[in-house]
Copies of this chain bind each other. A is one copy, B any other.
């Protein structure tokens, strides 16, 4: 499964962590495996997650898609399990499993009755170092991944435009490359490519075990030491120093016209700073900015573009704060039928300019903060979301402390912080504007 973009939900998923702070503990095994335990005994279930600090941005040059392809292959056999048996055992024990690959991480999840925790921990430990990929399986699974690309990307003009947009945004950094990989490179991936990647990156010193639910720190430590403890660390782990971007000097535009398009729209994506460990303030301001501009019916864009004098069916903003390297802040507008994309863009730009001129409505900001506090309480029982927020953060350069500090950092954001972040962020020369067009439309 691919996870190309975090949504606004991440805002809430992360913020609830603070409330559970007293129940979160973390330790590291001798072989480098970091373990995070989130105790929560309200129901007899656990969420078990293994997160690897490797994602598509770590794909070797010319082997795009390998991180995601390997995620698929991880459900093939090991020295102890036959192909497919992993998922069968989870299901037979009443559990649910899943996996996901993003730019910076790859994660494997199970939700299962707490008395079955050892079963899934043992199986995750087994496949961390002892994956077996048979000659039959690798080709078949590559075809599956290619089909996934066809159905999720190539059948969708919007997804295709997204790929072209991201490739145009990043001039140098590997976030330019789609998580699922470029087709021509996917088609050439081999079993050996996958195994080489696996052996290098799948190891206790590059992984984080996150267990949330009805268990204890001691129990998890015992299970982790028993099953993960004997595993050897990888000896050739590269550092995660990726290419950094040269200065962005030119506003870029991309467009895609396709007969399948029924609803044209325009989006603009700006290069933006990510959440940095110990320095999350700008990211918090951008998180608030996205909420203020585009968070639902009371947002600034909704008021200005959808309600007052409607030019948009929908308009919004989003910020992907959780990332290892420079990330994105996006705005979009879907015009009403009588409005051209050119007019829609002008109105969107006007709305941004108006917002910058008017400043932040203190009441609106207070309302969003109240929503966040409410959602923290409301969502505290989302065991999986909580575990996920730790896994994603710890594989994206953040720490347990950063996750726990995040709600307070959000709470401390002032109107001035938001405005400063907006002024710095809305710079056309660091953006790409993308338009999705029907084939009747004449535009570039």
Contacts and interface: CB of A to CB of B under 8 A. Distances in A.
A155 to B, nearest CB: 13
A243 B165 contact: no
A160 B247 CA distance: 10
Contacts of A244: 184
A315 B251 CA distance: 24
Contacts of A252: 164, 168, 252-254
A253 B444 contact: yes
B256 A250 contact: yes
A426 to B, nearest CB: 14
A85 B13 CA distance: 66
A161 interface: yes
A428 interface: yes
Interface centre among A161, A163, A184, A250 (most CB of B within 10 A): A250
A72 interface: no
Contact of A164 (B185, B249, B256): B249
Interface string A241-268: 1111011111111111000000000000
Interface stretch (A87-95, A170-178, A304-312): A170-178
A419 interface: no
A57 interface: no
B251 A444 contact: yes
Interface residues of A, number: 37
A444 B434 contact: no
Given A171-B168, A428-B444, A249 B161 contact: yes
A248 B256 CA distance: 10
Contacts of A247: 183
A144 B429 CA distance: 29
A433 interface: yes
Q: What are the 7 tightest A-B residue pairs by CB atom distance, in nearest-first order?
A: A250-B254, A253-B253, A164-B250, A182-B246, A167-B171, A250-B256, A252-B254
Given A251-B253, A252-B254, A253-B444, 11 more contacts: A160-B249, A161-B250, A163-B249, A165-B250, A167-B172, A168-B168, A172-B177, A183-B247, A250-B434, A251-B255, A256-B429
14 contacts: A61-B61, A62-B243, A160-B249, A164-B171, A168-B168, A168-B250, A168-B252, A183-B247, A184-B244, A250-B256, A250-B434, A251-B253, A252-B253, A253-B254
